[in-house]
Homo-oligomer: A and B are copies of this chain.
Amino acid sequence: MTMKLYCFGESGNAYKAALPLELSGLDWEPVKVDFFGGETRSEAYRESINPMGEAPVLVDGDERITQSGVIQTYITEKSGKFGGETPREAREVLRWVFWDNHKLSSQAGAARFMLNFLPADKRPEAVTDWLQGRLNAAYAVLNAHLQGRDWVVGDGPTNADFSCCGYLFYPEPFGFARSDWPEIDRWLRNIQSLDGWKHPYDLMPGSPADRA
């Protein structure tokens, strides 16, 4: 049965699930979530799709899985891919996925939303400044880790890469410039070179162009 991923193009968190799904070769299809129309905040969505009011959600028969990190783990269980080659590597992969959720994507998603998808007069500048300070500290950790490495963990792509890159391919400005972080830039090119790689706006339905 084809798995369904509830997602939308603007969501880096959804991309963190959609990209390994696509690259794993598993059978899946996207279902567009109308985030900008308020769908994730509706009672119907909370009742029938996800009580946390979030995307992405993966539906595989009777299984309904949320949180991109758990969806990634599920993809690894089903495909045998992207989870690390040894128990130690598996922990190292999970470490970076947690770090990303805690320190990188959480802040990047909020900063990008406020700086691009809120009206200019509703942007809380003190908050976006604070988030950008936290993000610069996170980019520095990732950039330093990638020195001498092609992938975050081990010798090939894992969920650690797919998690950390979640928001880093988007064109809308939120304070991240690849040219400022040469090791991150090189690593992102490695991900873009993977057979079957797609940009978030090509992999999932919905993009700012739809609302222009």
Shortest distance in angstroms between A158's beta carbon and chain B's nearest beta carbon? 14
Interface presence of A182 (CB below 8 A): no
Copies of the chain in the assembly: 2
Interface contact B106-A91, CB-CB below 8 Å: no
Interface presence of A21 (CB below 8 A): no
Residues of A within 8 A of B (CB): 51-53, 63, 65-70, 73-74, 88, 91, 94-95, 98-99, 101-103, 105-106, 124-127, 130, 141, 144-145
Residues of B within 8 A of A130 (CB): 124, 127
Q: A66-B95, A98-B101, A127-B130 are in contact. List 9 more A-B contacts (CB 8 A).
A: A51-B141, A51-B145, A52-B141, A65-B91, A67-B94, A67-B102, A98-B98, A102-B102, A126-B126
Residues of B within 8 A of A125 (CB): 126
Known: A65-B91, A91-B73, A95-B66. Is A141-B53 also a contact (CB below 8 A)? yes
| List of 4 A-B pairs having minimum Cβ-Cβ separation, nearest first | A126-B126, A67-B98, A69-B98, A127-B130
Shortest distance in angstroms between A137's beta carbon and chain B's nearest beta carbon? 8
Residues of B within 8 A of A67 (CB): 94-95, 98-99, 102
Shortest distance in angstroms between A35's beta carbon and chain B's nearest beta carbon? 15
Shortest distance in angstroms between A142's beta carbon and chain B's nearest beta carbon? 10
User: Could you give 25 example pairs across A and B, Cβ below 8 Å?
Assistant: A51-B141, A51-B144, A52-B99, A52-B141, A53-B141, A65-B91, A65-B95, A66-B95, A67-B94, A67-B95, A67-B98, A67-B99, A70-B91, A70-B95, A73-B91, A74-B91, A98-B101, A101-B102, A102-B102, A102-B106, A103-B106, A124-B130, A125-B126, A126-B126, A127-B127
